[in-house]
Structure 1
């Protein structure tokens, strides 16, 4: 999917995202924000969207959010202002394939329901690894393609609609596991119906 197509798709979704996809993806958002809050530190949220996760981070966390969609970011900025979210230090429009941050800038990078949306996810993962500090962790929440069964058939059937729905339904997990220096340390399934996955990858020092 081209970056322009992603931007146009989420321009359409921005007004209704919170009540549609936002509701379905709530479990993963809570898991990731709780994980960071328990430990504290600097977190980069890639694909911050409308900022649904931002109020869930607790004390001791400093959040920087990026998104390619100006329409989604505008909603996130309003949320920060209206809710007085002082833990959010910056919200920036940015292409995740070219992160405008120095090496080793963050303790955590969260990528919630974004890796099956972006073009060139392998390139995004390399950038995520670059901006992580040694020992830092990537927190991934995403739907990955089923290897077999009815769900796998459905995913492949709707794959041609990616431009309309805004994500790759048949996205394989292998596309996020190959970044140099990142090692998988945790994996779990999440609601709804365990079709979402939780991954923690750690940057080796």
Structure 2
């Protein structure tokens, strides 16, 4: 019940944020470019964007011919579809919950989780679904705010998280704890800025 309530709240607040989202999130363009460069999706591969927002990742996926994008907020996807049209891309955009993907097993060669795992109410459910829809040998690009594995959040970060979770996101999740519920392998991890507050990782099935 709590997860469902949080998902409804996320839909409401991200519909509200949609007109301003590009201005708020465009500062992460370098990290998006780096993450997708590591993912290196090929033109023929099937790529899934989870919590795709307004489609800021599409600028770096223009050569990809088979892109699906999901988000829980319809207003976000409307802007994503407009961006795809401007870029000349045919993107399958659907309102969908990242905790319960409506795709068959082993549907995608690559999955993009940019600023997703810190926002989705149940990141463990999300990563399990990612593992399910990913083909053997498939890759996952992750860019988000994480605590270092085994690190305990300092007091200031725990206090700040109370506000962060109301506004948009959880800043105290650990990628290692999330990935551990799957058989996905973390093959790359790097500091992506703000003194290690941001991380980029590449996973493989």
TM-score, normalised by the number of residues in structure 1: 0.88
Mapped to 1, the partners of 2:162 and 2:65 lie a distance apart of 39
The 1:38/1:47 distance shift into structure 2, 3 A limit, reads: closer
Deviation readout 1:157-191 (Å, 9 max, x if unpaired) = 11112443210122222332213221111111113
**Match in the other structure for 1:157:** 159
Structure 1 unmatched runs, 5+ = none
Mapped to 1, the partners of 2:27 and 2:128 lie a distance apart of 28
Structure 2 unmatched runs, 5+ = none
Do 2:46 and 2:110's aligned partners in 1 also have CA atoms closer than 8 Å? yes
Mapped to 2, the partners of 1:32 and 1:187 lie a distance apart of 10
Do 1:36 and 1:61's aligned partners in 2 also have CA atoms closer than 8 Å? no
Shift of 1:60: 4.5
Do 2:54 and 2:80's aligned partners in 1 also have CA atoms closer than 8 Å? yes
Shift of 1:109: 0.7
Do 1:107 and 1:132's aligned partners in 2 also have CA atoms closer than 8 Å? yes
Mapped to 2, the partners of 1:38 and 1:96 lie a distance apart of 21
Question: Which residue of 53, 60, 80 corresponds with 1:56?
Answer: 60
1:80 maps onto 2:84 in alignment: yes
**Match in the other structure for 1:201:** 203
Mapped to 1, the partners of 2:11 and 2:116 lie a distance apart of 13
Do 2:48 and 2:69's aligned partners in 1 also have CA atoms closer than 8 Å? yes
**Match in the other structure for 2:108:** 106
**Match in the other structure for 2:126:** 124
TM-score, normalised by the number of residues in structure 2: 0.88
Do 1:145 and 1:152's aligned partners in 2 also have CA atoms closer than 8 Å? no
- The count of residues paired between Structure 1 and Structure 2 equals 198
Mapped to 2, the partners of 1:24 and 1:55 lie a distance apart of 14
1:42 maps onto 2:46 in alignment: yes
1:5 maps onto 2:15 in alignment: no
- RMSD value, Cα: 2.0
Do 2:35 and 2:201's aligned partners in 1 also have CA atoms closer than 8 Å? no
Shift of 1:77: 1.0
